[in-house]
Amino acid sequence: MEKLKCVVPDRLKRRVEESHVDDLPSLSSSLLQLFLSLPQFHQLISELAAEPATQAGLCGKNEGAALDLKEKGNQCYSSGDHSQALRCYSQALRLAPIDAHHTGKNLVATLYLNRASLFHKMGLSMESLRDCSRALEISPSYPKVWCRRGKVNATLGNYEDSVHDLSVAKDMEPSIGGKKQIERELDMLARHHEKKIPKPASQKSVEIPDVPSEIKLQCVKTPDKGRGMVSQFDIPQASLIHAEEPYAVVILKHCRETHCHYCLNELPADTIPCFSCSLPLYCSQHCQVRAGGPIHIPDTMVGSNFKPTLECIPEHKHECQGVHWPAILPSDVVLAGRVVVKTMEQKGQFTDVPNLSETLGLCESYSKMSPESKLELHIYSIVLLFCLHHSFSSELSINGDSASQIVILLSQIRVNSIAVVRMKSNTNDSYDQQDWFQNFSFGEAEAASSVEQVRVGQALYKAASLFNHSCLPNIHAYFISRTLLLRTTEFVSGGCPLELSYGPPVGQWDCKDRLRFLEEEYFFRCWCRGCSEVNESDLVISGFCCVNPNCSGVILDNLVANCEKQKPKVPETISNESHLQVHELKDIDIKKVANISLDQTQSSFHVGSGYCLKCGSYCNFASRSKEVKKAWTDFRRLQDSIASKDTCGTNLTDALRSLGLLRSILHAYNKGIAEAEDILAKAFCFIGDFEPARDHCKASIEILEKLYGPNHIAIGYELAKLASIQLALGDCTAVYNINRLSAMFSTYYGPQAGIIFPYLLVLERERSRIIQ
């Protein structure tokens, strides 16, 4: 990419810099001419798009490597290194061509059989059963697989299935010795079969609820946010208002080895690879078929030139010929490829990239992008066009019009695609133990109740792209597999905009940071209520306290003050505003003073770095900031000592002293104090001193309630930690906090709360135990 950027002459770079959407076809055409004349461009395309000449390519199948891994897996199995054996077999499955044979057997079927035997040995019977069935689908006349599946079914208590499988194995087994061995298995099975054990429950499948028919949404034109969605009628809090499957989706690179490339859920141990390339991994055949297409394999294909038959229009199909580009190009470019292919297939035309703006109806951001980003879009659009020409349709014309359509699409993806996230949650079996809370570890509770969301994919949802952003959102987005669900987090009256948060909301970041994030990521100046009206959270979140001990005012730094001054609307009444976030600030008059101070026509106060908004007293902001920075080194040290499981005696004392300092310098609701209190809670839990841990956790929550409002989901995660500490202390007030967090989670996630956040179920079980 950098090499291609460098060869673009300044004259063309200037054209890119000044270009608008209307200029794109001729500009794309000029860039295309340029690249076509460059040998390094052709070299790049052949590396990305040509099928690997040798089987050793990055994404191609590789029989030799698969056989080596199979051997290594067998050795590890024999020496008892089960986890390494599993890695070897799974990697071999990824590399083995579907038509490869070894010692007269299909290699893939043999690998599934070997992995099934390993799973059986490891006690993973369901995984073993699934692998046996996969092997039989490929090679239905493989007696060893029938025999293994018979044994696994016996372990699972599936008596009839077991007898059936072993009987088939016996009939197929060519050797007398082998037949006798299977007969012995059958006899043993009959002796041990006293009573039939019920089959284990099949894998959990999550129902996606329907949006109630009375929820009617409308797309309207707004004065400063383009189109937006509103409700036609009043909608109660916690209502599901929208559910949508993605138009296209792609897994992020860092999740390729850990999450299913189709549904984006975490991978089980018995992963399934793609039949045609070595890139994707799937959690089930269901996902593999949807992504790569079903496969029908005759058992009699030894030595034949077998090519798998791919049916329907699976999304990975055009990328899966062992070519490198899906592994190398950025995720949003691969996503663009999927969108182009899907659109062309839907239209049934394969020569020109269709007019995507018309087809998708999404807003674009091209003109607002930096010259550097624009040039990147142009280069990627041409590269992608060549890759699609090679892997998808050789009829696809390579011209300025098609390339410019892809430039627009890439700019649409920048502002309309949604990150698919998963909650990082520890579903450790130890939660099932009765005495878990007696052996409580804050680290475990924190991992379990972690607020951390991991981005696993990037997707385009056509209808959901019409929802605008607000830093004070009234709807919440979450995912079940790849389905996007939107739920109201408050009562929304008919005609009101329905807006979700594209980034950190009010309470998490101050206004200047939010504005910068939205400008950089989505190219717009946010005009939501949180960024256009003064709110208390933004004033105090990074504020300092007044030097005057009798004043409860707040002192802002220069950047925050400037940002607040630019808010065009300062609400005149404070107490009657129903939507205000912070209802019970002790020093509510900060807001009144802020309103006057920030409205420069009415105020004689200085609003700038170092002046108190309430009394106008001045403090040396720079020197106080330095003290705060220094205090934070103590908290970092404490965090490090917890992370390295050191005893933190002096570090804890230093951090406690620094908390006092922070409290004397920062405003009482500064987010930094909440973070410091949280670290202290963790440290006290670490040393098993739960009472101070509880107090620090509560102190942190009190501040967060002021910043986010009392019912925000961010408080829910903190309440999960507090309730865990209270349970460890045998403190029954945990019940109150569990009730609160249950209510919060069902507002945000409805009946799926326990799936999204499994730790909630653990806490609810504890609550039932206490109440009984």
**What SS3 state is found at 553?**
coil
Question: Whole-angstrom Cα distance, residue 29 to residue 19?
Answer: 13
| Binder of ligand SAM out of 228, 273, 553, 610 (CB under 6 A) | 228
Give min distance, CB of 341 to ligand SAM, in A: 23
Is 696 within 8 Å of 674 (Cβ atoms)? Answer: no
User: According to the binding rule CB under 6 A, does residue 528 interact with ligand SAM?
Assistant: yes
Give min distance, CB of 254 to ligand SAM, in A: 24
Instruction: Sort 730 into a burial class: Cβ within 10 Å, 0-12 / 13-18 / 19+.
Output: exposed
CA angle 719–759–676, rounded 5-degree value: 35
- Count of residues near ligand SAM by CB under 6 A: 20
> Which residues within the stretch 283-302 sit at the binding site for ligand SAM (CB under 6 A)?
none
In the complex with ligand SAM, the residue whose CB is nearer, 366 or 611, is 366
User: According to the binding rule CB under 6 A, does residue 527 interact with ligand SAM?
Assistant: yes
In the complex with ligand SAM, the residue whose CB is nearer, 226 or 751, is 226
Question: Whole-angstrom Cα distance, residue 647 to residue 649?
Answer: 6
Query: Tokens for 167?
Result: 């009987």
Q: Is 750 left (phi over 0), alpha (psi -120 to 50) or beta?
A: left
| Binder of ligand SAM out of 227, 286, 663, 698 (CB under 6 A) | 227
User: What residues does 632 pair with on adjacent strands?
Assistant: none
Question: Whole-angstrom Cα distance, residue 90 to residue 489?
Answer: 43
| Binder of ligand SAM out of 64, 200, 212, 226 (CB under 6 A) | 226
User: According to the binding rule CB under 6 A, does residue 461 interact with ligand SAM?
Assistant: no
Give min distance, CB of 523 to ligand SAM, in A: 6
Binding mask 301-320 for ligand SAM (x = CB under 6 A): --------------------
User: According to the binding rule CB under 6 A, does residue 500 interact with ligand SAM?
Assistant: no
| Binder of ligand SAM out of 469, 514, 591, 767 (CB under 6 A) | 469
Give min distance, CB of 224 to ligand SAM, in A: 6
In the complex with ligand SAM, the residue whose CB is nearer, 226 or 660, is 226
* Residue 99 amino acid letter: D
Binding mask 348-377 for ligand SAM (x = CB under 6 A): ---------------x-x------------
CA dist 720 → 138, 445, 627, 699, 713 (Å)? 48, 8, 33, 14, 11
Name the phi and psi angles at 422, rounded to 5: -130, 145
Give min distance, CB of 380 to ligand SAM, in A: 20
User: According to the binding rule CB under 6 A, does residue 651 interact with ligand SAM?
Assistant: no
Query: Tokens for 38?
Result: 């460059």
User: According to the binding rule CB under 6 A, does residue 635 interact with ligand SAM?
Assistant: no
Terminal-residue alpha carbon distance, the chain: 65
User: According to the binding rule CB under 6 A, does residue 225 interact with ligand SAM?
Assistant: yes
Is 259 within 8 Å of 456 (Cβ atoms)? Answer: yes
Q: Which stretch binds ligand SAM (CB under 6 A): 170-178, 248-256, 466-474, 478-486?
A: 466-474
In the complex with ligand SAM, the residue whose CB is nearer, 227 or 342, is 227
Query: Tokens for 748?
Result: 């945000």
User: According to the binding rule CB under 6 A, does residue 517 interact with ligand SAM?
Assistant: no
Is 307 within 8 Å of 334 (Cβ atoms)? Answer: no
The conformation of residue 296, written as its DSSP 8-state character, comes to: -
Q: Which stretch binds ligand SAM (CB under 6 A): 218-226, 431-439, 441-449, 481-489?
A: 218-226
Query: Tokens for 456?
Result: 């696993």
Give min distance, CB of 302 to ligand SAM, in A: 54
- CA nearest neighbour of 418 among 450, 461, 471: 461
> Which residues within the stretch 95-114 sit at the binding site for ligand SAM (CB under 6 A)?
none
Residues in the chain: 772
Question: Whole-angstrom Cα distance, residue 478 to residue 501?
Answer: 12
Give min distance, CB of 460 to ligand SAM, in A: 10
Give min distance, CB of 22 to ligand SAM, in A: 19
User: According to the binding rule CB under 6 A, does residue 567 interact with ligand SAM?
Assistant: no
Beta strand 281-282 with 453-460 is unpaired
Question: Whole-angstrom Cα distance, residue 592 to residue 572?
Answer: 9
> Which residues within the stretch 398-437 sit at the binding site for ligand SAM (CB under 6 A)?
415-416
> Where does this chain bind ligand SAM (CB under 6 A)?
224-228, 363, 365, 415-416, 465-466, 468-470, 522-524, 526-528
